[in-house]
Amino acid sequence: MVPFPNKISAHEVIQSKIFTTEPFLYHLNVWRFKEEKIVFTNGCFDIIHRGHIDYLAKAADLGEKLVVAINSDASVKRLGKSSSRPLQDEQTRAMIMASFHFVSAVIIFDEDTPLEMIRFVKPDILVKGADYDANETNKESKKYIVGSDLVKASGGSVITIEFLEGFSTTMIEEKIKNG
């Protein structure tokens, strides 16, 4: 089958949503100029499951543009999730994430936290799962949302989204191991 002339392939569309910081700055500026609400979330997103899709779709509904920052392979290793993680490399995880129509941009970060990425993106809305607390101010607390102080100081919102019960990468990994 021959593709239509001048048609952008689905693969090109997906790849066009995966960025490094400098090329992404242009898109951020265009979105800001158009006054589009930018929503930011982050995570490993190692094995995409129904819980992730539910969470990301709800995050996307909070604004016009959803930016997803993905931990690099090295960053995932430093999080100490398990010796087998990440199960998929960062480029694969980024490509899967970029394939969702409601995700506007994917960017990989190598730091232990997304703080520098949040500082760079300056989102209108910062989103995390409800295992965090949007009102927590103690940076030492496990419930503290990294970058929440920056977002709030610039007039943005910090929102938590309830997880879909029964879905987690750890549960799926255990099920695979134990049959």
**pLDDT score recorded for residue 3:** 63
**pLDDT score recorded for residue 82:** 66
| Sheet of strand 18-19: strand arrangement | 18-19, 105-109, 65-71, 38-43, 125-129, 157-161
Mean pLDDT by 10 residues, the chain (179 residues): 74 95 94 98 92 96 98 88 81 97 97 96 97 95 97 98 79 76
Is 23:13 a contact under the CB 8 Å cutoff? no
**pLDDT score recorded for residue 1:** 54
**pLDDT score recorded for residue 85:** 78
Query: What sign has the CA pseudo-torsion 119, 122, 124, 128?
Result: negative
**pLDDT score recorded for residue 112:** 93
Cis peptide preceding 86, ω within 30 of 0: yes
Is 65:104 a contact under the CB 8 Å cutoff? yes
**pLDDT score recorded for residue 54:** 95
Provide the residue ranges of all domains of the chain, joining segments of one domain with +. 12-178
CATH 3.30.379.10 correct for 12-178: no
